[in-house]
Amino acid sequence: MLINERENRKERVLAAANAMATAARTAPKGKGIDVIEIAIATGDTIKSISDMMLQLSEETGMHFLIRDAENILQGDALLLIGTRQQVQGLNCAYCGFPTCEAKPRAVPCAINTTDVGIAIGSACAMAADLRVDTRVMFSVGLAVRRLELLPDCETLYGIAISCSSKNPFFDRKSTKPQ
């Protein structure tokens, strides 16, 4: 049997995405409390996210969303990492309020937000170990929030994943008018 690597590229990207999800899940969490949500988007779901990013660009005037919307279509998977908001009862004031009770619901808990960053770092370290190309994009998180794909999450990011001869997430077109 001969298997050409071009024929199973998508399966290998999905395997890498699963390993990245494991790395994110097992990353350290503040107070040991897991409020992280992780999902993998492929195919039509990536297209839906891209379409929403284009819509958000029209609504907000953030032109970089157009570039990012086109860019995620060049990969084979998106790892979505977000956090449910749950105050940790530390009264640490990292959020800018003196106590957890004083923090408005709309203000994210700094510990939860840090947990997302650590999970993203762990996922990207795994991607580097596996030699797949990635790009962390908060713009993907904006679209995922609007689409309510991870409905309990308020802080969300996406990691685009590719396994091609050239990293499609590196030399990206400028969004500035020529």
What does the pLDDT average to over 107-125? 95
What does the pLDDT average to over 97-124? 94
The per-residue pLDDT of the chain, averaged, comes to: 93
> What residues contact 24, with CB distance under 8 A and at least 6 apart?
36, 38, 79, 81, 119, 120, 122, 123
Q: Report residue 141 as tokens.
A: 């998180």
133 three-class SS: strand
| Percent of the residues in the chain that have a pLDDT greater than 90, as a whole number | 81
First to last CA, the chain: 51
- If one counts every other C-beta atom within 10 angstroms of the C-beta of residue 136, the result is 18
- For residue 177, is pLDDT > 80? no
Q: How far is CA 127 from its chain centroid?
A: 13
| Percent of the residues in the chain that have a pLDDT greater than 70, as a whole number | 97
- If one counts every other C-beta atom within 10 angstroms of the C-beta of residue 173, the result is 9
- Kindly report, residue by residue over 69-91, the tens digit of the pLDDT: 999 999 999 999 999 988 888 99
> What residues contact 167, with CB distance under 8 A and at least 6 apart?
133
What does the pLDDT average to over 152-171? 91
Which domains, ranges and CATH numbers included, belong to the chain? Answer: 32-162 (3.40.109.10)
- For residue 68, is pLDDT > 90? yes
- If one counts every other C-beta atom within 10 angstroms of the C-beta of residue 128, the result is 11
Name the band, by pLDDT with cuts 50, 70 and 90, for residue 125.
very high
For residues 60 and 41, give the distance between their C-alpha atoms in angstroms, rounded to a whole number. Answer: 24
Name the band, by pLDDT with cuts 50, 70 and 90, for residue 176.
low
Residue type, 104: P
Q: Which residues pair with 156 in a beta bridge?
A: 82
Q: Report residue 175 as tokens.
A: 């969004």
Q: Which residue has the tokens 């993998």?
A: 40
What does the pLDDT average to over 138-147? 97
